[in-house]
Amino acid sequence: MRVQAINVVSRGGAAQNLRGQTLPARDVFVKSVSFGQSVFKNLDENKTGQIVKHIKSGTAPAGTGWTSLTYRLDDYAIKVPFGPDSETLKTVQEYFTLQKINELAPGIAPKPVDLIKDGEKYYMVSEFINGAHPTGGFNEQQLKNLLKNTFLLDTAGITHVDLHCNNIFVSDDDVKFIDFGSCHMLDNDGKYINGELKNIKYFLDGDAQKAVDLPAKNKFLKTFLVDDLIFDVKNTSDNPNLKITSNISNFEFRYMHQQVNLDNSEGVFTNYLKTKSEFYHKNMIEFLTGIQDSQNSDIISKAIEREKVFKEIFANPTDNILKTELAKINLKHAVNSNAPAIDDAFATLSSAVKKFEPAAVTESEKTYFKMMREKLGEYIRLNIVKDNAEKLIDEKNIAAKIFNEAPAVKRFNMWIGLAAAGVTLCGGTLFYFHKRRSSKPDAPATVQTQAYPWHSLKQFF
């Protein structure tokens, strides 16, 4: 097979990652590539052919996800999207994300190797991660490493948004995250790029690289100047002075919620909070202190004080703190699932704050419950009950605008029911239903709930 010449653009500028390591002065992106070939030429023609043959031979995949199959060949993992549209977009975005993670905070995620173009699809080739999912929880060192990883991603401006058990691998004391296809990344203006609202060209032509090429600390500082973002109730940092989406928040309702309920032991959660105090909040205090400047001095000082509150109360959490934190995670989990239990979960957290705040003794406890009360107020402000959501749809014709005026969203092949539970705005999140392919060719498509932060969609209206 003849290979079409590949056009590559390089941009210089050495920098340091979050571990203090000097980065190579390179940032390449592809302009064009022929069918069936390695996009970045990190794989030779022979290895590329072996990978394509392996996938098309009928070999059973090593793993199955919602939008792709993962195969293993030698030390490579090959992610193959089900379809050429949103699924392939996730694969290309993930390759780009893994590049940035391995530049800024190496060791957290697989190393990307290459993309292989196959018709309208792109396969992503990365290193194969050995290990097991932490179904039984983490040992002490694994938990410490996990919290360090979430901190590094938060300060790098990369939010996974799906840190459940199957997207975490542990091996000895090592912890790695996989499946970054839906992540959000902080851009040079201090706002998050939702890759699912972009297109493949955005990543392959270099627009994404240009949008995030400032040093991570510079981008993080920009978040303090952003005043027009409404984050969803699930992933927003619990620190009201940090305008970031947080991997630790996501991990808590995607993994810890299930783990605590399965284990039915407050001891597990107590140990988690104590470890988080030392290996997340302490690190965040040091990071914020190190980036403080005159322009953002006041707000960063407030953010540091709030982090100190979390560090202090989680170091030795009282029963009241434990119960409130568990109620908070349950609410986030209910919102994420668009579950009928949202109202009950909200009432439980509201009752806990109302009951425990008067009993707070230390200044840190009093500040903590004040923050929780403010968070509940924000939830109420953002939440639009179903009746109002349906009215909003009728008045502004949101569904029609999604289909007709948002081509990036239109690719998702989604359908929206305008009655009952078709579209709901809850906690600043737009929920909708869409058909998702099954991994089995002869199985019918299933209907899944999908969610987007409202701030990511409001640009279209």
Amino acid (1-letter code) at residue 86: S
> Over pLDDT 70: what percentage of the chain?
70
Write down the pLDDT at residue 226: 78
Write down the pLDDT at residue 292: 76
Please name which of 242, 218, 213, 212 lies closest in space to residue 295, comparing C-alpha atoms: 218
- The full 3-state SS of the chain, as one line of letters, equals CCCCCCCEECCCCCCECCCCCECCCCCCEECCCCCCCECCCCCCHHHHHHHHHHHHCCCCCCEECCCEEEEEECCEEEEEECCCCHHHHHHHHHHHHHHHHHHHCCCCCCCEEEEEEECCEEEEEEECCCCECCCCCCCHHHHHHHHHHHHHHHHHCEECCCCCHHHEEEECCEEEECCCCCCEEECCCCCEEEHHHCCHHHHHCCHHHHHCCCCHHHHHHHHCCCCCCCCCCCCECCCCCCCCECHHHHHHHHHHHHHHHHHCCHHHHHHHHHHHHHHHHHHHHHHHHHHCCCCCHHHHHHHHHHHHHHHHHHHCCCHHHHHHHHHHHHHHHHHHHCCCCHHHHHHHHHHHHHHHHHHCCCHHHHHHHHHHHHHHHHHHHHCCCHHHHHHHHHHHCHHHHHHHHCHHHHCCCECCCCCCCCEEEECCEEEEEEEECCCCCCCCCEEEEEEEEHHHHHHHC
pLDDT band at 37 (very low <50, low <70, confident <90, very high): confident
Write down the pLDDT at residue 339: 60
Residues 35 and 119 in one domain: yes
List, for residues 337-385, the tens digit of each pLDDT value: 766 677 788 888 989 999 999 999 999 999 999 999 888 877 665 553 3
Residues 447 and 361 in one domain: no
Residue 351 or 15, more confident: 351
> Over pLDDT 90: what percentage of the chain?
49
Residues 149 and 243 in one domain: yes
Looking at mean pLDDT, say which of 13-17, 235-239, 254-258, 364-368 comes out highest: 364-368
Range of the domain at 372: 140-164+217-382
Q: Is residue 169 included in any domain, yes or no?
A: no
Residues 272 and 366 in one domain: yes
Residues 236 and 326 in one domain: yes
pLDDT band at 397 (very low <50, low <70, confident <90, very high): very low
Write down the pLDDT at residue 229: 53
Write down the pLDDT at residue 382: 55
Residue 80 or 391, more confident: 80
Average pLDDT across the chain, whole number: 77
Residues 159 and 45 in one domain: no
Residues 28 and 107 in one domain: yes
Q: Is residue 55 included in any domain, yes or no?
A: yes
Number of domains composing the chain? 3
pLDDT at residue 12 is higher than 70: no
Residues 267 and 279 in one domain: yes
Residues 269 and 392 in one domain: no
Domain-terminating residue out of 382, 410, 443: 382
45 within 8 A of 36, measured Cβ to Cβ:
no
Residues 333 and 441 in one domain: no
Domain-terminating residue out of 127, 149, 183: 127
Write down the pLDDT at residue 2: 30
CATH of the domain at 37: 3.30.200.20
Averaged over 319-327, what is the pLDDT?
94
Q: Is residue 181 included in any domain, yes or no?
A: no
pLDDT at residue 412 is higher than 80: no
Can you tell me the distance from the alpha carbon of 188 to that of 192, in angstroms, rounded to the nearest whole number?
9
Q: Is residue 183 included in any domain, yes or no?
A: no
List, for residues 264-320, the tens digit of each pLDDT value: 466 899 999 999 999 999 999 999 999 877 677 888 999 999 999 999 999 999 999
Q: Is residue 176 included in any domain, yes or no?
A: no
Residue 320 or 408, more confident: 320
Residues 287 and 394 in one domain: no
Please name which of 300, 136, 157, 280 lies closest in space to residue 216, comparing C-alpha atoms: 157
Q: Is residue 451 included in any domain, yes or no?
A: yes
Q: Is residue 177 included in any domain, yes or no?
A: no
Q: Is residue 432 included in any domain, yes or no?
A: yes
pLDDT at residue 439 is higher than 60: no
Residues 401 and 422 in one domain: yes
pLDDT at residue 239 is higher than 90: yes
pLDDT at residue 330 is higher than 70: yes
> Hey, what are 45's tokens?
């023609």
Residue 11 or 164, more confident: 164
**What residues contact residue 319 under an 8 Å CB cut-off, 6+ apart?**
none
Domain-terminating residue out of 382, 399, 414: 382
> Hey, what are 385's tokens?
């009950």
CA triplet 420, 424, 427: central angle to 5 degrees?
150
Averaged over 41-68, what is the pLDDT?
91
